[in-house]
Structure 1
Amino acid sequence: MKETLFALIAYFKNPILKEDENTNLNYRFTLFLKIFAICVITGIIITPVFALLEALEWVNMDSHEVEKMFKGMAKWKVILTGAIIIPVIEELIFRAPITAFKKPKYFKIGFYFFALLFGFVHISNFEISTTVLLLSPILVLPQILIGFYLGYIRVRLGLQWSMLLHGCYNCFFILLSFIPEE
């Protein structure tokens, strides 16, 4: 997994439009699982920052729009919406277009643009205030990083793999949210 992490970091420094030539399904699924693990670990590592921001009363996570959207919804509907419908739509909007940039310079710009746009669009999940706007790079950091991971897997393996990764990532955290707090 360390090798995959270093490959991701190297790619983020210099993204290129080059699909992975290894089409073996076992290879692709293994790479997918490694990147999924990196995504989840990234999300878990960043989570304490949100707890701190909430403890300092700079951000109210209870007023998060995702919480409001899913409130009172049956669990199967939450999973269907959050782990299938939204990831497919977001991948079509934010990842599908990046391979249209064929020239290396434009591809790099497009890759960064769509990852950052994906992240910053998610600021709309928060109740907008001056504090939220000032903290926005921190508040959307998980989405920015996931945007880079999804962009990588989209380019290397294909759009269906980024949809699957996005859906699995969302589903993992949705299922965690179902665990009762005691």
Structure 2
Amino acid sequence: MLRAFASNLKQTATDLLSFLRNPSDTPVPGIQVTGKLQVLLGVLVLDVLLTFGFMGLIHLVELLGWHKYDAHAVAEMMRSFPLWGALLLGIIIVPFAEELVFRAGLRFRRGYFTFLLFVLLLAAGIFAFNMMPLLWALGAAFVLGLLMIVYLMNAYAIGEFLERAWPGYMQPYFIV
């Protein structure tokens, strides 16, 4: 049984490397639910093994005194977050944003693009209110709001253009 699991794990790693070399967003034909669950389990096991390997390397770097990660900006940010905020950020927001950004590179979907634009404009607005004087931030928020309104008024035409142009012009830049 262990030999079969190791063989499945090796096949999953090979398939994952093949996907990373040439990513595509097409489903594998004829795979059943049990096959999908085996692939998911294999990827999770690979993830855990790689995580422990990298954690060991990071710990070794700290033990050798080459770098101290306690003063890292992300560690400081996570210490300042309440537990519910860190969980919300780490479990829901970051994985969702990652899927949105990287899947949009493989295929264009209007909803992905609109949501990504909304999130980017929202982040720019938050940045403006944190980094600029109030009057400038209000002006920036007004301009960003106008940009979103102009986009939404022309979303269909922009979406039509991007659906035609994306495969030929943009998608090759997202393929590794």
TM-score of the superposition, structure 1-length normalised?
A: 0.49
Q: How many Å apart are 1:16 and its aligned residue?
A: 4.5
Q: Give the aligned residue type for 1:47.
A: M
| Inter-partner Cα distance in structure 1 for 2:82 and 2:25 | 41
Query: Which one has the largest radius of gyration?
Result: 2
Aligned residue-pair number = 111
**2:26 aligned counterpart, secondary structure:** coil
Instruction: Specify every segment of 5 or more residues in structure 2 that has no aligned partner in the other structure, as ranges.
Output: 1-8, 109-165
Q: Is 1:54 the counterpart of 2:62 in the alignment? A: yes
Decide whether the 8 Å contact of 2:107 with 2:167 is kept in 1.
Answer: yes
Deviations 1:48-67 (A, max 9, x none): 22123223333221122332
Q: For the structure 1 residues 87 and 12, does the alpha-carbon distance in structure 2 shift closer, same or farther, using more than 3 Å as the test?
A: closer
| Inter-partner Cα distance in structure 2 for 1:63 and 1:32 | 35
**2:18 aligned counterpart, secondary structure:** helix
- Equivalent of residue 63 in structure 1, options 71, 79, 99: 71
Instruction: Specify every segment of 5 or more residues in structure 1 that has no aligned partner in the other structure, as ranges.
Output: 113-182
Q: What's the C-alpha RMSD, in Å, of the aligned pairs? A: 2.9
Decide whether the 8 Å contact of 1:15 with 1:108 is kept in 2.
Answer: no
Higher relative contact order (CA 8 A, sep 6+): 1
| Inter-partner Cα distance in structure 1 for 2:24 and 2:103 | 14
Q: How many Å apart are 1:23 and its aligned residue?
A: 5.8
Provide the residue aligned with 2:142 in structure 1. none
**2:66 aligned counterpart, secondary structure:** coil
| Inter-partner Cα distance in structure 1 for 2:55 and 2:172 | 29
Q: Is 1:94 the counterpart of 2:158 in the alignment? A: no
- Equivalent of residue 27 in structure 1, options 23, 30, 35: 35
**2:37 aligned counterpart, secondary structure:** helix
- Judge which range, 75-84 or 52-61, deviates more: 52-61
Q: Give the aligned residue type for 1:111.
A: I
| Inter-partner Cα distance in structure 1 for 2:23 and 2:73 | 32
Decide whether the 8 Å contact of 1:16 with 1:107 is kept in 2.
Answer: no
| Inter-partner Cα distance in structure 1 for 2:102 and 2:93 | 14
Q: For the structure 1 residues 22 and 75, does the alpha-carbon distance in structure 2 shift closer, same or farther, using more than 3 Å as the test?
A: farther
| Inter-partner Cα distance in structure 2 for 1:25 and 1:78 | 33
Percent identity for Structure 1 against Structure 2: 25
